[in-house]
Amino acid sequence: MKRIILFAAMMWTASSILDAQAARPSNVVGTVVAIRAEPLEIQVKDDKGRESTAKLDATTEFRKVAPGERNLRNAQVVEISSVSPGDRVLITLAADGVTARRVVVMSAQSISSRNEADREDWQARGAAGIVDNKKDGTIVLRMHSMTGESHVTVAAGPKTVFRQYAPGSVKFADAKISSVNAVAVGDQLRARGTKSADGSSVQAEEVVFGTFLTRAGQVVRTDAAAGVIVMKGGNDGKLLTVRITPDSQLKRMPAFPSGAGGPGPMPQGNRAGGPPDFTHMIERLPGARIEEIQTGETIVVSSTREPRPDQLTAIMLLSNADFLVRMAAARAARASGAGSMNGGRGMQQDTSMGLGGLSNGLGGIELPGMLQ
């Protein structure tokens, strides 16, 4: 009997060791938080916000690769001094699960430069707007500028890559491979490829799209430490909680005098052969910080659909947006009047958020949801 108990204890111990070893990750991917000399270690935060620490020693190898590189054959041998907070790293751990055997790094500066070049390419060779109609692989986008509405035709072929924004995620990288069949009227869509000289059509190489909400309201309170803004948007006084993440983009509108009849020095879009494009103008606005947003200020927020109607995660937040809301309300009023004269075929108003009965699209002005 004692032998049986001893054998069972040994098996339990061995099983516990194997389970612990299996639970240890062999790789760590994330952003460098800190590198410490005493003890020599690297602290990393993964994409879910979890932090971990790996030991470094004389045997740890350091390799540097360009953003997007998937082959270590093109990696450059570097020293630990080449790794800085903010860099992206892939750490391969040794058998002990705590010592870094190899650290592959992509510098934050290189990632930023790549992202900026990619963003400019999407703007230069692309178009963004709301899907107005779709037929046989051809998509017509409705686009808005400060002077009116225009349309762009997006032609898709067998080699066009479609990606759909993931519900509940503000990360462009989370977009999933999709197809033209999944594109629906009312979706936000961005395409890049070969653009016509007048900017009225694009033969698409890549397309990203998704279903987004645009909400507007007045700030009730902010909690910068928690990354939360509470805004009041409804006539019934209900509150909406807006979560700000590291992937959210915050922009600030320039200040306009009360009752201003037109826009001031707004950044200009670059759509060829047409008026300044609203999406490009918004993306060129200066950045903002949650600490700068004041109680009572008007904000406009874009997000994906989320399970709880009283909460959303900001993809883009536009602060100091009172002028934009006034302009949208005026446009909604004009569209409503035109609808009355056309047998009631006009914009369907959504008064749930107040602000003059604006629709989800703020009177046809949709805040960008897809970001580069």
CATH code linked to domain 212-267+274-353: 2.40.50.320
Task: Tell the burial category of 43 from Cβ atoms under 10 Å away from its Cβ (0-12, 13-18, 19+).
Answer: middle
pLDDT tens string, the chain, 372 residues long: the values are: 545 444 444 444 444 443 444 445 689 999 999 999 989 999 999 887 889 999 999 999 999 999 888 888 889 999 999 999 999 999 999 999 999 999 999 999 998 898 888 888 888 898 888 899 999 889 999 886 656 678 999 999 999 999 998 776 667 777 899 999 999 998 889 999 999 999 899 999 999 998 888 888 899 999 999 999 999 975 556 899 999 988 788 999 887 655 444 444 444 444 444 444 566 677 778 889 999 999 999 998 888 777 788 888 888 899 998 887 777 777 666 655 544 433 332 222 232 233 333 333 444 445 545 444
Q: What is the reported pLDDT for 322?
A: 85
What are the residues facing 61 on neighbouring strands? 102
**212-267+274-353 and 24-107 share a CATH fold:** yes
Edge-to-edge order in the sheet of strand 76-77: 51-55, 41-45, 27-36, 88-93, 100-106, 61-64, 76-77
Considering the segment(s) 125-210 as one domain, its CATH architecture is: Beta Barrel (2.40)
By residue count, the chain amounts to 372
Q: What is the reported pLDDT for 16?
A: 43
Q: What is the reported pLDDT for 335?
A: 59
End-to-end CA distance of the chain: give it in Å, rounded. 68
Question: How far is 254 from 368, CA to CA, in rounded Å?
Answer: 18
119-155 burial, b at 16+ Cβ within 10 Å, e below that, comes to: eeebbebbbbbbbbebeeeebbbbbbbbeeebebbbb
Omega before 309 cis (within 30°)?
A: no
Q: What is the reported pLDDT for 332?
A: 63
Q: Do the bridges between strand 76-77 and strand 41-45 make them parallel or antiparallel, or are there none, so unpaired?
A: unpaired
Q: What is the reported pLDDT for 143?
A: 81
Q: pTM higher than 0.75, yes or no?
A: no
State in words which class domain 24-107 has: mainly beta
Q: What is the reported pLDDT for 244?
A: 92
- What are the domain boundaries of the chain? 24-107, 125-210, 212-267+274-353
What are the residues facing 103 on neighbouring strands? 62, 91
